[in-house]
Chain A
Amino acid sequence: MNKQIFLKTLKKQLQKFGVKNSDDYLEYYSEYLDDLIENGSTEEEAVQKVGGVKKVLVEIISDNDVEIPQTSDRLKSALLIGSLPVWGPLLLAAYLVPILLLLAVLLIAVSFLLAGGWTLVGSFVVMTKVGLLYAGFQLGISLLFLGGALLIEQLFAFLTQKLFSFNKYLFRKFNVGGIRNGLV
């Protein structure tokens, strides 16, 4: 990471955390990097010596002189909390919909598996009791069910992975403590 990308990323992160005097810090780190470069480091080495974006961000946020405005607009926060009964359940429902859809996909896969297994066993009964052609037809249907079960199960696995990474993203976005664990 060179100096410019470092400063640009740092600026973005500082804006995200609402640091008011971010320019002071950017200037300080820009000069600090220049000094390191003058003393013979390459840009990448200088950024590495400073500690990278995450470490610098944690240092700035835990600095005594940092100006992060507290929730200034009391009315806004009061409204937000007051309307919790309205948007809370909506948010919960929106969060639950994909999870329940996923559950539905899993149930479809399980029912296909059961239907496929049952007709597969049944086709052997049909073979002895009715005839080979009928048994072949039923076997074909059971293979269709079993193949469908496998495909839908794979769809379930794929969607589960997607949902998992989406949740990870949400966790990173809304958990400020996450930056200390190196998740940003």
Chain B
Amino acid sequence: MDLFKFNSKIAFWGIILVVVGLVLAFATLFSLDFDISALINHGGSWYAPIKWK
């Protein structure tokens, strides 16, 4: 498989990986109860809103 030539199979698997990654990331993100607004609006200070057990 020549990586330096356009290969639609590689592009196809790239898209599959991106889609699977997106689904997995979003599905777990919403079940993790992250405080997303606090993540975005941390006002310059680093804040990791992870609720440790």
The main secondary structure of chain A at its interface with chain B is: helix
Asked if A88 is at the interface of the complex by the 8 Å CB criterion, the answer is no
| B3/A142 in contact, CB under 8 A | no
Asked if A108 is at the interface of the complex by the 8 Å CB criterion, the answer is no
Give per-residue flags for B8-39: 1 if the beta carbon is below 8 A from chain A beta carbons, else 0: 00110111111111111111110110000000
- Number of chain B residues whose Cβ lies closer than 8 Å to a Cβ of chain A: 28
The main secondary structure of chain B at its interface with chain A is: helix
Asked if B6 is at the interface of the complex by the 8 Å CB criterion, the answer is yes
Q: A147-B18, A148-B18 are in contact. Are A158 and B6 (CB under 8 A)?
A: yes
| B28/A143 in contact, CB under 8 A | no
Q: Which of A131, A141, A157 contacts B6 (CB 8 A)?
A: A157
Asked if B4 is at the interface of the complex by the 8 Å CB criterion, the answer is yes
B residues near A, CB below 8 A? 3-7, 10-11, 13-29, 31-32, 50, 53
